[in-house]
Amino acid sequence: MQVIKTIREIREAVYTARQAGKAVALVPTMGALHEGHGHLIERARRASETVVVSIFVNPLQFGPGEDYGRYPRT
C-alpha cells in the first residue's frame, strides 16, 4: 500500500501501473471510510490489479460554522 498525497505522485503511480499493463480501478470517497467502501474496494481488487482509493473532503460542501476541519479523513 502506498499513501500518495500529491497529484504528481498519483499520476506517476497510475502511469507506471498502466505501462506495466495493469488495469487501474478508482474508489473515490469523501472520507469517513465505512463498510460500504470496504465492499467497493474488494470489488475493485477483483476487477483490477491496481486499486486507488481517494479520500477527498470538499471544503465547498461545508457552510459557515460547519466543522470542515474536524470531518473524518480516514
59, 33 contact by CB (below 8 A): no
Three-state DSSP state, 5: coil
Q: Which three cell numbers stand for residue 59?
A: 471544503
Pair 40, 54: CB distance under 8 Å: no
Q: Is 39 a catalytic residue?
A: no
The three-state secondary structure class of 27 is strand
Among residues 25, 37, 50, 68, which one is catalytic?
37
Catalytic residue set: 37
